[in-house]
Amino acid sequence: MAAIAWIILLAMLTAFFTGWLEHQDNPNKDPTSQLTNTGESEVVLKRNRAGHYVTNGFINGVAVRFLLDTGATGVALSNDVARATGAVPGKAIMTRTANGNAKGYKTTLRSVAVGNIEQHHVPATISPGLATREVLLGMSFLKHLELTQRGDTLTLRQP
């Protein structure tokens, strides 16, 4: 009986700490959205424990996880995420990354959404060398927004 109690306790602790660590990595699983007094869409994001802004969102209606990257020219997604979201590879291009030059494929995403902010026909790159399920949310999406950082929060506002 004591062994069963220990197993149950360990399972409960594992579940608790797994959830806690996931929240520390992505505190924006359900980003806070609102409309301002002037009718602008606004999303407030919290910084994660590594100092990055990570949030859940949608590409072409499919749930994805974004890493906001103001240093990236465009939205970059891996082959797996491209396949899952229905993004179609187009013209082959060479891209410059932090790891050097890499081959990618141009594409256009029908829709990209973070909270109540949604944009259509967003230029993106399918990057076969991107070994993550996170989508880099770069300036082809962010340039249409007003970004305000205060403390550990980043507010995205769509005029």
CATH at 112: 2.40.70.10
Q: What is the pTM for the complete model shown?
A: 0.80
Position 55 in a domain: yes
Distance CA 77, CA 85 (A): 10
Report the number of distinct structural domains present in the chain. Answer: 1
Q: Could you read off the pLDDT tens digit of each residue along the chain, which spans 159 residues? A: 777 766 765 666 555 545 544 544 688 888 878 888 888 899 999 999 889 999 999 999 999 999 999 988 999 999 999 999 999 999 999 987 777 788 999 999 999 999 999 999 999 999 998 888 899 999 999 999 999 999 999 999 998
Position 110 in a domain: yes
Position 47 in a domain: yes
Residue 107 CB partners (closer than 8 Å, separation 6+): 82, 87, 88, 89, 90, 123, 124, 125, 126
β-strand pairing of 62-68 with 134-137: parallel
Position 17 in a domain: no
Position 145 in a domain: yes
Q: Domain range for residue 52? A: 28-158
